[in-house]
Amino acid sequence: MTIELRVLAEDEWDVWYRTLNWAFGGAIGSAEEVELWRSLTEVERSIAAWDGDRVVATASTFSFGLSVPGGDVVPAGGLTMVGVAPTYRRRGILRRMMRQQLDDVRAAGEPLAVLTASEPSIYGRFGYGTATWQLSAEIETRDVRLSPPPGIDDVEIRVAEPADVLAECEALYARQLPLRPGRPARLPRWERFPLHVPAHLRAGASPQLCVLAERAGELLGYARYVTAPAWTESGPDGTVIVQDLEAVDPAGYAALLRYLMEIDLMSSVRLANRPVDDPLLHLLSDVRRCALRTRDGMHLRPVEAGAALAARRYATEVDVVLEITDSFCPWNEGRWRLSGGPDGAVCARTADAPDLALSANELGSAYLGGISLTALAGAGRVRELRPNALTAASTAFTSPAAPWLPHNF
């Protein structure tokens, strides 16, 4: 059996997508969902593995720009739609596709590769590290109160048709990009993605609803959500399922959350993906009644380590020599001197003695500033080779806002 990897052709998309569905357990999405993923696929950056005339594995890349600490947007290849047909697993097809994909990302000049994993244990061997966490919450709204911040009563909540206000919501999303690392800049072909309600949310739920928070006509934030009514012997027990909640202002954020918590006949508000420093932690009276949970969000790997390190800014002045190991992308291996601070950085090869030793995985984890080099050193994954180098570098790598990916891809 010879498995050949080829770039996907437009007219092969249907059979390719069928293999992807098969790999993911076989459930075929709605026609709308299939069309959405067709429109998002960059076929020229998609891999099909063929056994004769059958597609047996799939992988694709999105041409993202990702916000990084300091507010710049850096090109990043987003690995997606990876699937190997059940009868072709554990023969190295994923490994071959990873080789091709990372070489393609490098050739495209993207210093970073990112992904969201079906299972987090798959991608460490290819140099990815967990770079963002996501917080989920289910607020028991009958028992949890919101402490209103100043100015909340000046905020008006307006109900709108999601498609009618998409442009202004997207403009607000774009304004948020520099403020928090980990957000993908919206590509033109992703324009309608925010309006999509995935099948697992749609069952028994309302169509997507949208509310805007405004002060004197100025947009402060928005929420997109569905409501899933339910009834028990003791009465109404519905759930508000939040898809997006964005605000540029604390009073706007709190007004949106209060609105969601006060919808009639609903007894809980579910937020599946929030940043770990989300304001809700400081607004609500009883976090024990919010079923808080954290899990891995985005995984990141430096594809060109030097370019990646130079592309972000640092919280404090830093001058450190990193000894990097990277068996899957060996061009990153060796010593790199990183010098920089809040105004920018340079990173170049050096023969100087190393201060810290780490692999591509740890660099990926620490890159967006959400996982500290000190924490990784505590797990034995970063080694300090010069006294005090760890604390100084770890402080410089931090981000004031926890990095966060607002949606999986």
Ligand X SMILES: CC(=O)SCCNC(=O)CCNC(=O)[C@H](O)C(C)(C)COP(=O)(O)OP(=O)(O)OC[C@H]1O[C@@H](n2cnc3c(N)ncnc32)[C@H](O)[C@@H]1OP(=O)(O)O
Residues in binding site? 82-84, 90-95, 118-119
- For the chain, what is the largest distance between any 2 Cα atoms, rounded to a whole number of angstroms? 73
Shortest distance in whole angstroms from residue 339 CB to ligand X: 34
Q: Among 24, 35, 265, 291, which residue interacts with ligand X (rule: CB under 6 A)?
A: 24
Per-residue DSSP letter, 65? E
Compare residues 92 and 400 and give the one whose CB is closer to ligand X: 92
**Contact with ligand X (CB under 6 A) among 36, 56, 117, 240:** 117
Alpha-carbon span 272 to 241, nearest angstrom? 8
Helices (H), 302-368: 305-311, 360-366
Q: Please, which residue, 112 or 209, has the CB nearer to ligand X?
A: 112
Closest to ligand X by CB, 101 or 398: 101
Query: Which residue in this structure is represented by tokens 């899990």?
Result: 295
Is 23 a residue that touches ligand X (CB under 6 A)?
A: yes
Dihedral pair phi/psi, residue 52, rounded to 5°: 60, -120
- The yes or no reply on residue 89 touching ligand X (CB under 6 A) is yes
> For ligand X, which is the closer residue by CB, 119 or 164?
119
User: Three-state SS for 102?
Assistant: helix
- Does 396 interact with ligand X (rule: CB under 6 A)? no
String marking each residue 150-169 x if it binds ligand X according to CB under 6 A: --------------------
Which residues are bridge partners to 254 per DSSP? none
The strand order across the sheet containing 218-228 reads: 156-160, 209-215, 218-228, 238-247, 266-274, 133-140, 293-296
Q: What is the Cα–Cα distance from 259 to 214, expressed in whole angstroms?
A: 13
- Which residues 257-286 are close enough to bind ligand X by CB under 6 A? none
295 binds ligand X (CB under 6 A): no
- Parallel, antiparallel, or unpaired for β 356-359 and 383-384? antiparallel
Lookup result for tokens 């690392």:
181
Regarding 95 and contact with ligand X (CB under 6 A), the answer is yes
Q: Is 367 among the catalytic positions?
A: no
Which residues are documented as binding site for acetyl-CoA? Answer: 82-84, 90-95, 118-119
Toward ligand X, which CB reaches closer, 118 or 316? 118
Residue 388 CB, nearest approach to ligand X (Å): 36
Tell which phi-psi region holds residue 182, choosing left (phi > 0), alpha (psi between -120 and 50) or beta: left
Candidates 66, 105, 115, 165; binder of ligand X (CB under 6 A) is 115
194 beta partners? none
Figure out which of the listed residues 82, 228, 280, 320 binds ligand X, where binding follows CB under 6 A. 82
121 binds ligand X (CB under 6 A): yes
CB of 126 to ligand X, least distance (A): 8
- Smaller CB separation from ligand X, 95 or 175: 95
* Among 80, 141, 359, 398, contact with ligand X (rule: CB under 6 A): 80
Measure the CA–CA gap between 340 and 364, rounded to whole angstroms. Answer: 18
Site string for ligand X, 226-245 (x = CB under 6 A): --------------------
Which residues are registered as beta bridge partners of 269? 139, 240
Among 36, 47, 79, 197, binds ligand X (CB under 6 A): 79
d(CA 323, CA 386): 12
Q: Cβ of 82: how many Cβ atoms within 10 Å?
A: 22
Strands 218-228 and 235-236: unpaired
d(CA 190, CA 173): 13
Q: Which of 64, 88, 123, 222 is labelled catalytic? A: 123
Minimum distance between the CB of residue 29 and ligand X, rounded to whole angstroms?
15
What is the enclosing helix (H) or strand (E) of 145?
none
CA distance 60 to 64: 12
Between CA 166 and CA 41 the distance in angstroms is 22
Q: Binding residue for ligand X (CB under 6 A) from 65, 83, 252, 364? A: 83
Tell me: does residue 372 bind ligand X (CB under 6 A).
Answer: no
Residues binding ligand X: what is the number (CB under 6 A)? Answer: 22
Q: Which is nearer to ligand X, 92 or 229 (CB)?
A: 92
- Closest contact distance (angstroms) between CB of 15 and ligand X is 16
Please say if 123 is a catalytic residue: yes
Min. distance of Cβ 113 from ligand X in angstroms? 10
The set of catalytic residues is 123, 409
For ligand X, the binding residues (CB under 6 A) are 23-24, 79-84, 89-95, 115, 117-119, 121-122, 125
